[in-house]
Structure 1
């Protein structure tokens, strides 16, 4: 059995285990279990109708992936109960549209309140950090499985706990992607410690990038050994956030700060294996000044010095 087969089997087992767990959680939130008279499919239909003035029956069937006959019978029951009304479309006489009646709206509002209460009871034991972690994980699952667009990107100054995260993520990511040893994590720790010790907000700054409340990247701008020249350091973007423009935003923010701080030039040091970062630097107007081979972090590398005017 190959390594990839073993990994694939392990992933399948993890997904199946999560599915069993999540199915139990969802069961607690089913309409009938929270005190509603409606079943799950009925609740889904009411939800779709409650969020539109009117919906074509064909579009409703497609959105919910329901059998045409089953949906027709369900709508007929709703119409008989006075919850839904159906008529021909004013735009296309061949199509039928449905909408909630005032009674249907009241029934949905009651169902919505019951399910909201059930969710609040479910998350009530969680503290703020746990709630953020829960929502963040849900967003990541949607992006990975459904190709959902990333949420709002926020760049903010480091808060307590962020500097430790910068060190940990650099150590973990570079070990996983490039096989670098603990020597790199030690270097990052020294850079971060020096930044924190200086407590200088006029000539240095750092930013943490967040997507949907999750930390996904960082960058630092510090003074270099050359007067009037800033240094861009510790650019990092987590793999699942790449392609969302996080790295570009971080570098742009670093350049803006360097200009405001009065620097006339900015430089950085990187290695030729960091291809994605090099592309970001090139797009930001940096050019390669020189390269030199070195042995660091347990690897034979080619270090590169890049710079640009501000």
Structure 2
């Protein structure tokens, strides 16, 4: 393969997906770069300008002009981070989220129309070819935090949550099939009956595969949400995925009006417990119990969403 081969493929592919025409229809009235910034903000609930600059390899002045435009148009808000006052936290407004959702819908429709031209029997081959290109060009490069995408679940992802919870907790803690049954019931309840305005699932994706998940569902107590099924694959740990997933739940719960966020865990899950503590969760109670084939100590944690804010 030569440089010219790759350049020829690039010209072909950008023409097929209409990349050179995006600014005139798909992402109008935004440029492709502006649309990408909106996308990153929509999928990273707690982001600052420095993070965006690093993730997108953008010139600081160029990014500043984009953010100024977004702020003037009422798409974003910029506030000082409580963790580091030198940094400016960037979040989408309601209008900004609606705009990002519209652009995502247009992109999905465009890709769906392109995929419709490929016979169903050939689509697995196309997907495998795309994975091969991605794998070969990223070979030898360790994964980075900015490579991780938080997204809504797609077909099969809820089943993946059940399968990976069962497999990981068996491998790491020796839990039996009772835990798989519990996870299956939680996921089934969400799939069959949930309010999309008040309940949500996030999937963390790295290199095209799911590597983490978390759920936010309504609790029995009034104005209370429950965080459930936080999981990060072993080979994806160390990238801050667990923290990002919990951040997504906290921000969502606060945004839609919950007063409290609660969770139940076990004391042996020390890594997850440390994440909860960093976000301000307070331990309410502990109780020994026999579950999943093991003697465990269950813990109830609570976060006051009005009393803690980044």
- TM, length-normalised to structure 2: 0.57
Unaligned runs of 5+ in 2: 13-121, 306-310
5 Å-filtered alignment, 1:32-51, equals none
Structure 1 residue aligned with 2:4, among 100, 106, 109? 109
Q: Distance in 1 between matches of 2:130 and 2:4?
A: 27
The structural deviation recorded for 1:166 is 0.3
How big is the shift at 1:142? 3.2
Structure 1 gaps, min length 5 = 1-30, 32-42, 44-107, 118-123
Change (3 A) 1:141 1:225: farther
**More relative contact order, 1 or 2 (CA 8 Å, 6+ apart):** 2
Matched residue SS, 2:140 = helix
Distance 1:262 1:245 in 2: 26
Q: Indicate if the aligned counterparts of 1:150 and 1:211 stay in contact, CA closer than 8 A.
A: no
How many residues of Structure 1 are paired with residues of Structure 2 in the alignment?
Answer: 196
Runs of 4+ in 1 over 2 A off after TM superposition: 108-114, 124-143, 147-151
Per-residue CA deviations over 1:119-144 (Å, capped at 9, x if unaligned) read xxxxx99524434554676588635x
Rate the CA distance shift 1:242–1:132 in 2: closer, same or farther, 3 A: farther
Whether 1:185 aligns to 2:180 is yes
The answer to whether the aligner puts 1:248 opposite 2:234 as a matched pair is no
Counterpart among 285, 289, 301 of residue 284 in structure 2: 289
- The match for 1:161 is 156
Taking structure 1 as reference, are residues 304 and 219 closer, same or farther at Cα in structure 2, changes over 3 Å only? same
- Per-residue CA shift, 1:207-237, capped at 9, x if unaligned? 1111122101000000111111110000000
Of the three residues 219, 230, 236, the one matched with 1:235 is: 230
Cα offset for 1:150? 5.1
2:128 to 124, 127, 130: 130
Going from structure 1 to structure 2, the CA distance change for 1:277 and 1:131 (only over 3 Å counts) comes to farther
2:262 aligned residue: 267
Aligned-CA RMSD value: 2.7
How many angstroms does 1:240 deviate by?
A: 0.9
Query: Which runs of structure 2 are paired with 1:27-106 in the superposition (5 Å)?
Result: none
Q: TM-score, normalised by structure 1?
A: 0.57
CA deviation after TM superposition for structure 1 residue 295, in Å: 0.4
